[in-house]
Amino acid sequence: MADYGHELHFGTFLTPNNAEPQAVVGLAQLSEQVGLDLVTFQDHPYQPRFLDTWTLLSYVAATTVQIGLAPNVLNLPLRPPAVVARAAASLDLLSGGRIDLGLGAGAFGDAVAAMGGPRRTPGEAVEALEEAITVMRQLWDTGTRGGARLAGKHYVLEGAKRGPAPAHSINLWIGAYKPRMLRLTGRLADGWLPSSGGLGPDKLAEANLIIDEAADAAGRVPTDVRRLYNISGSFTGSGGFLDGPPRQWVEELTELAIAEGTGTFILASDDPEMITIFAADRRRSGQFHGHTDS
């Protein structure tokens, strides 16, 4: 049993299709209307069928009131971290402290390179992500005197002016699956954000242990890392993980919250009806787990 002491949160993971630009905005607004805590969007800058995720986040922030917003996950090879830091802090200020960042080392290397981005080995991608985290946190740290400096292999700061400071402490959630990225998550991140399609529920305990050990070795505590989970499934199926009626979802998500310490469940769906049912399950799952508010 892993209890990381995190209150349960629930959100959506939406596809930023540009064929009907207002459709994804409507789903984000629906996510807020039905009482979810968070709305997130894929980030694939090399995909011309998608709206630009940062532009979409800004637009949705202006058309919602209280729901949290995040990329899931941001493609850092095509987004310089110093620029991301200032953009995220600015949007956090404008939205009243509603922005967090899911971060990825960058998949689809050929597509990244085709857009003029760097072609990195897996090891280099992890190094670059670690440096990017340092860049962002330095620029947000307006309480430290002097310019921000980093002599990195992939990113360099040469006395960059700090700021603006965000409205709240922006959480950095890492999409990690392999041991090196999991250890990085334990050392530095505020959250771990895998997807059930890439890491099934039977693999969570093993990955959580790697994160916990890395956190301990870095002088942190495992509770410093929120456990988030992108999930998908069906309410009409008849077997398998999240492949059944809403009651099955409540039971299985509650079990993950209790046994694996998962604190945030994010539904990957563009179906309004599914989002609405999921939001109703949110309340039932929270009550069963011992939480009655968001």
- Whichever domain contains 282, its CATH number is 3.20.20.30
Q: DSSP letters of 194-249? A: -BTTTS-GGGHHHHHHHHHHHHHHTT--GGGSEEEEEE--BSS-SSSTTBS-HHHH
In a domain, 245, yes or no: no
Domain assignment present for 246: no
- Phi first, then psi, for residue 31 (nearest 5°) are -55, -40
- pLDDT at 288 exceeding the cut of 60: no
Q: Is residue 3 part of a domain?
A: no
C-beta of residue 78 within 8 angstroms of C-beta of residue 13: no
Using CA atoms, how far apart are residues 254 and 70, in angstroms rounded to an integer?
24
Q: What is the per-residue pLDDT for 106?
A: 85
Q: Does 4 fall in a domain?
A: no
In a domain, 241, yes or no: no
Cis peptide before 164 (omega within 30 of 0): yes
- Name the residue range of residue 271's domain: 9-233+253-288
Q: pLDDT by residue (tens digit) across 67-86?
A: 999 999 999 999 999 999 99
Question: 10 Å Cβ neighbour count for 5?
Answer: 10
The answer as to whether 197 is a domain residue is yes
Mean pLDDT of the chain: 94
Q: How many domains does one find in the chain?
A: 1
* pLDDT (0 to 100) of residue 1: 57
Domain membership flag for residue 130: yes
- What is the token pair recorded at 123? 């090891």
Q: Where are the alpha helices (DSSP H) in 34-152?
A: 53-63, 81-95, 109-114, 122-140
pLDDT of residue 3: 85
Q: What percent of the chain has pLDDT over 90?
A: 92
Report the distance separating Cα 220 and Cα 4, nearest Å: 13
Give CA–CA dist 81/129, Å, rounded: 9
Cα dihedral across residues 141, 212, 266, 129: positive or negative: positive
Does 58 map to a domain? yes
